[in-house]
Amino acid sequence: MSNDFAIGIHDLSFATTEFTLPHAVLAEYNGTEIGKYHVGIGQQSMSVPAADEDIVTMAAAAAAPITARHGADRIRTVVFATESSIDQAKSAGVYVHSLLGLPSACRVVELKQACYGATAALQFAIGLVRRDPAQQVLVIASDVSKYDLDSPGEATQGAAAVAMLVGVDPALVRIEEPSGLFTADVMDFWRPNYRETALVDGQESITAYLQAVEGSWKDYGEQGGRPLEEFAAFCYHQPFTKMAYKAHRHLLNYCGYETDKDAIEDAIGQTTAYNTVIGNSYTAAVYLALAALLDQADDLAGRSIGFLSYGSGSVAEFFAGTVVPGYRQHLRTAAHRAAVDRRKPVGYPEYRELHERSLPADGGDHLTPSQTTGPFRLAALSGHKRIYETR
């Protein structure tokens, strides 16, 4: 059997939370000059989950439009990438499989490597489709970014899920070979099992990210990848949107190019639109960048996009994709903008209450406050089991 066929992202959909905290509210609370947030890190607001929202409800909400459009008969695998896992044994994807009514003849797994996990899931999906071109793989990236209150990382929080259908003859983006890879053992960001919030060394994380940009690009070139000038745009992982600018400037310097401000804006600017108002969504962030680019850019048909996926700890990958002619007919631009616009702003006390809320751990029966207006919710806990419902 010939393997001479295109594989890539056939459909892409995202979801976020019920609530949002504007950074102006956070700045007023802690006495910070708003420019530190709006300009310094490039963030305007952050998505805040309702009491009955989590990575499963966001993931199902992101994936449901895909199965509604394409059906589920060809989906033989669900790969769920997250660093906000809700269980040490059971994949969050199994709950999504149930909520979406996917066929029982389906494998479901969860992947973890900080914010890089979704790119690992995408590459694994491509391998499965290459082996069996008749099947499709549902890749889901869903995370809630959570740091200690009043910590430096608090302003970068966010939450979202991106779902991608991977298969042959993709309608959106063909994923190319090769990939440039990089791994280094660093402690720039981590969350031990006994903590609900992450630990981060901010400066070390920036240094490690930029080191990974160099390393993955170097390997990409050594594997025979495209030259830098062939790319129309670049989708970087965005723990905060200004990090994408830092990363691209660093790449240009590393490759001996001038760091022209307008050229950097052309390459990066349209990828930040969703991340700047949603905040850091960990595994979903680089693919929110792709959604923003496709939803806003002039016709990209036939153009190449560079992807730099970074996960603290650290693992990175640089790879390329080519936008498919006719892709605009398959975009979900209106739905994506509605997902962002539907969020209700909360004041600082309401946000703090949601942030400090934790699920009961006594194994009793506990109903969850009904807050979300989304299609799926975490309804209760009973006997240490999560009970989800479709609205």
Joined tokens for residue 8 = 């890539």
Please give the positions annotated as active site. 83, 115, 237
Q: How far is CA 389 from CA 16, 61, 357, 364, in A?
A: 17, 12, 21, 19
Q: Which amino acid is at 306?
A: G
Are the C-beta atoms of 173 and 322 separated by less than 8 Å? yes
Sign of CA pseudo-dihedral 218, 220, 224, 226:
negative
Q: How far apart are CA 388 and CA 378, in angstroms?
A: 5
Q: How far apart are CA 388 and CA 386, in angstroms?
A: 6
Are the C-beta atoms of 25 and 155 separated by less than 8 Å? no
Q: What is the CA radius of gyration of the chain?
A: 20
Q: How far apart are CA 269 and CA 233, in angstroms?
A: 9
Q: What is the largest CA-CA distance in the chain?
A: 64
Give Cβ neighbours of residue 254 (< 8 Å, ≥ 6 apart).
Answer: 213, 214, 217
Angle at 72 between CA 66 and CA 75, to 5 degrees: 100
Inter-axis angle of helices 55-70 and 92-100, nearest 10: 40
